[in-house]
Amino acid sequence: MNAGITITKDNFKEEVLESSVPVLIDFWAVWCGPCKMMSPFIDELAGEYEGRIKFGKVNVDEENELAGLHGIVSIPTFVLYKDGAAVNMKIGAAPKHDIEAFFKNFI
């Protein structure tokens, strides 16, 4: 998992809520096969949209409190934040173009 900032409860406010650009958070876990499948797509999108959207990753095993606050019950789950508020959510693995469509109208 190369792309994206590691989001924790300690940096959530600064990196997500106070971000000047939209933030796509990927809730994932090391043991999750579909999460591993999504990683290359997220890496590619992070490069393609650098400066226009920020990509963050939350390891649900390490940040279960943060995952609980977002109501995460299935992974991968993607939550899009803009102007300090969650504006979109997508659950499950999807093709790259579906992930792109998920956030494109918000940047």
Q: Annotated catalytic, 35?
A: yes
| CATH 2.40.10.10 holds for 5-104 | no
Rounded to 10 deg, the angle between the 33-48 and 96-104 helix axes is: 60
Tens digit of each residue's pLDDT (9 = 90 or more) over 62-76? 999 999 999 999 999
pLDDT of residue 1: 40
Cα-based distances in Å from 58 to 44, 85, 90, 105:
18, 17, 15, 23
User: Active-site residue among 3, 7, 16, 35?
Assistant: 35
Q: Where are the domains of the chain?
A: 5-104
Q: Tell me the whole-structure pTM to 2 decimals.
A: 0.92
Structure tokens at 16: 């997500």
Tens digit of each residue's pLDDT (9 = 90 or more) over 38-62? 999 999 999 999 999 999 999 999 9
Tens digit of each residue's pLDDT (9 = 90 or more) over 79-99? 999 999 999 999 999 999 999
d(CA 37, CA 23): 21
For residue 14, pLDDT beyond 70: yes
pLDDT of residue 4: 80
d(CA 40, CA 10): 26
d(CA 57, CA 20): 18
pLDDT confidence band for 3 (50 / 70 / 90): low
Q: Annotated catalytic, 62?
A: no
| Percent residues over pLDDT 90 in the chain | 93
Do 74 and 91 meet the contact criterion of CB atoms below 8 Å apart?
Answer: yes
User: Active-site residue among 3, 24, 32, 72?
Assistant: 32
